[in-house]
């Protein structure tokens, strides 16, 4: 391990051996000439990911967990070994350009109020992904689930959650940035605390950014850091769990984390209202689909309602997190 590195890159991996290999190649190219530490936290992969890193990337530190810790606890384990002034969180399915790490560090140096910063995320086809968002709220949930946000993306009101109204070329102080790529000031992290490990997957970075914000630290979106994000590669390897219609989000886990988040930051009533909103919407969708003869859509909405009821029971309305691994 390098002594006093400027930057520690943490990658939490689960069954992503080949894409992880490509990711690490990009990281080492981007970090050439930098005083950098790279840590891979392997969440009990079954595909030989940890062994591949040890064999093919001897300069990279591998921390192998016996169980799948999830994103929050996996990164917290990495934090314990990270000695850089800045910490970069990187998904194994996120590919860095050669200047990404240098530019990210430069932005952090130029903005001493920044606790955390994010990049412009581009999907497989080069399409812009949501890269800077507002905190979740009942209003934002209504706008998204009703389809109004998608219908009027250029509206500052209707497009508020994903900030789709704003110019993606413009840097901005925002509520939160996704954890696919994020650079964190270590001194700020030590001040506000690491990830809340009750979040196994989803909402953990939202909660962290909210605590940064409450502690007076800024969250920044920097569009000149461009990261290609494949999305959902680890989630696709999880068996026997319902996916959302997008095919990349584990619905039950997303619901559990949403309830935990709302209970923590908005209280019991808002948590109940959010759960009722999603169930009511899908009950209406189910009835309409049945009337239209669309059996598949009707059954899909029935599953969503069933999963929300299960998530509510298993978290006791957002009060507790089920035992890991989810």
267-282 pLDDT per residue, tens? 999 999 999 999 999 9
Per-residue pLDDT tens over the stretch 171-200: 999 999 999 999 999 999 999 999 999 999
Per-residue pLDDT tens over the stretch 146-173: 999 999 999 999 999 999 999 999 999 9
Q: Has residue 158 been placed in a domain?
A: no
Percent of the chain with pLDDT over 90: 91
Average pLDDT on 44-71 reads 96
Ramachandran region, residue 252 (left: φ > 0; alpha: ψ -120 to 50; beta: rest) = alpha
Confidence grade of residue 95 (pLDDT, cut at 50, 70, 90): very high
Residues 181 and 290 in one domain: no
The per-residue b/e assignment along 297-321, b for 16 or more CB within 10 angstroms, e otherwise, is bbebbbebbebbeebbebbebbeeb
Burial class (CB in 10 A: 0-12, 13-18, 19+), 174: buried
Give every CB contact of residue 306 below 8 A, 6+ residues apart in sequence.
Answer: none
* pLDDT above 50 (res 241): no
pLDDT number for residue 250: 86
Q: Has residue 139 been placed in a domain?
A: no
Residues 222 and 310 in one domain: no
Residues 63 and 94 in one domain: yes
pLDDT number for residue 245: 44
Q: Has residue 32 been placed in a domain?
A: yes
Residues 70 and 49 in one domain: yes
Could you say which of 196, 221, 236 is where a domain stops?
A: 236
- The number of C-alpha atoms within 13 Å of 216 and in the hemisphere containing its C-beta is 2
- The number of C-alpha atoms within 13 Å of 160 and in the hemisphere containing its C-beta is 12
Q: Has residue 67 been placed in a domain?
A: yes
pLDDT number for residue 71: 96
Q: CATH no. for residue 194?
A: 3.90.550.10
Question: Which of 108-117, 139-148, 241-250 shows the lowest per-residue confidence on average (mean pLDDT)?
Answer: 241-250
Task: State the total domains in the chain.
Answer: 2
* pLDDT above 90 (res 236): no
pLDDT number for residue 239: 47
Residues 45 and 67 in one domain: yes
Residue 194 contacts residue 150 (beta carbons within 8 Å): no
**Residue 159: Cβ within 10 Å count:** 20
The pTM score is: 0.92
* pLDDT above 90 (res 296): yes
Confidence grade of residue 283 (pLDDT, cut at 50, 70, 90): very high
Residues 212 and 262 in one domain: no
Could you say which of 213, 236, 259 is where a domain stops?
A: 236
Q: Has residue 27 been placed in a domain?
A: yes
Confidence grade of residue 138 (pLDDT, cut at 50, 70, 90): very high
Q: Among candidates 97, 146, 79, 90, which has minimal Cα distance to 118?
A: 90
pLDDT number for residue 3: 66
Give dist(CA 21, CA 53) in Å, integer: 8
Give every CB contact of residue 276 below 8 A, 6+ residues apart in sequence.
Answer: none
Q: Has residue 26 been placed in a domain?
A: yes
Could you say which of 197, 219, 236 is where a domain stops?
A: 236
Q: In degrees to the nearest 10, what's the CA dihedral of 179, 180, 186, 192?
A: 0
pLDDT number for residue 246: 39
* pLDDT above 90 (res 232): no
Residues 108 and 252 in one domain: no
Q: Has residue 200 been placed in a domain?
A: yes
Residue 105 Cα to chain centre, angstroms: 21
In three-state secondary structure terms, 171 is coil
Q: Has residue 1 been placed in a domain?
A: no
Residues 107 and 254 in one domain: no
Ramachandran region, residue 173 (left: φ > 0; alpha: ψ -120 to 50; beta: rest) = beta
Percent of the chain with pLDDT over 70: 94
Residues 311 and 181 in one domain: no
Residues 13 and 64 in one domain: yes
* pLDDT above 90 (res 7): yes
Confidence grade of residue 2 (pLDDT, cut at 50, 70, 90): low
Average pLDDT on 240-253 reads 57
Give every CB contact of residue 167 below 8 A, 6+ residues apart in sequence.
Answer: none
Whole domain around residue 25: which residue ranges? 7-131+168-236
The per-residue b/e assignment along 128-146, b for 16 or more CB within 10 angstroms, e otherwise, is ebebbbebbbeebbebbbe
Residues 121 and 207 in one domain: yes
Average pLDDT on 6-25 reads 97
pLDDT number for residue 106: 98
Residues 308 and 177 in one domain: no
Give dist(CA 171, CA 254) in Å, integer: 29
pLDDT number for residue 240: 43
């Amino acid at each position: 391990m390098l002594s006093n590195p400027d930057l520690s890159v943490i990658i939490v991996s689960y069954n992503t051996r080949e894409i992880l290999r490509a990711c690490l190649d990009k990281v080492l190219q981007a970090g050439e000439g930098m005083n950098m530490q790279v840590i891979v936290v392997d969440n009990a992969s079954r595909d030989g990911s940890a062994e591949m890193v040890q064999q093919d990337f001897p300069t990279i530190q591998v921390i192998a967990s016996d169980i799948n810790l999830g994103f929050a606890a996996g990164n917290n384990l990495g934090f314990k070994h990270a000695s850089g002034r800045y910490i970069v969180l990187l998904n194994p399915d996120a590919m860095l350009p050669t200047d990404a790490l240098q530019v990210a560090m430069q932005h952090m140096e130029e903005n001493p109020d920044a606790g955390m910063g994010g990049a412009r995320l581009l999907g497989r086809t080069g399409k812009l992904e949501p890269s800077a968002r507002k905190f979740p709220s009942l209003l934002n949930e209504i706008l998204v689930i009703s389809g109004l946000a998608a219908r009027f993306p250029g509206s500052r009101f209707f497009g508020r959650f994903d900030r789709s109204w704003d110019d993606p070329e413009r840097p901005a102080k925002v509520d939160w940035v996704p954890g696919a790529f994020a650079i964190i000031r270590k001194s700020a992290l030590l001040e506000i605390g690491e990830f809340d490990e009750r979040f196994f997957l989803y909402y953990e970075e939202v909660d962290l950014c909210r605590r940064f914000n409450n502690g007076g630290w800024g969250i920044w979106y920097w569009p000149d850091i461009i990261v290609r994000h494949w999305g959902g590669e680890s989630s696709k390897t999880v068996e026997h769990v319902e996916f959302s219609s997008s095919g990349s989000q584990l619905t039950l886990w997303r619901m559990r984390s949403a309830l935990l988040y709302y209970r923590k930051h908005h209280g019991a009533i808002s948590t109940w209202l959010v759960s009722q909103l999603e169930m009511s919407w899908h009950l209406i969708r189910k009835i309409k689909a049945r009337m239209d003869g669309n059996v598949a859509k009707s059954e899909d909405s029935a599953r969503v309602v069933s999963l929300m009821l299960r998530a509510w029971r298993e978290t006791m309305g957002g009060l507790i997190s089920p035992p890991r691994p989810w």
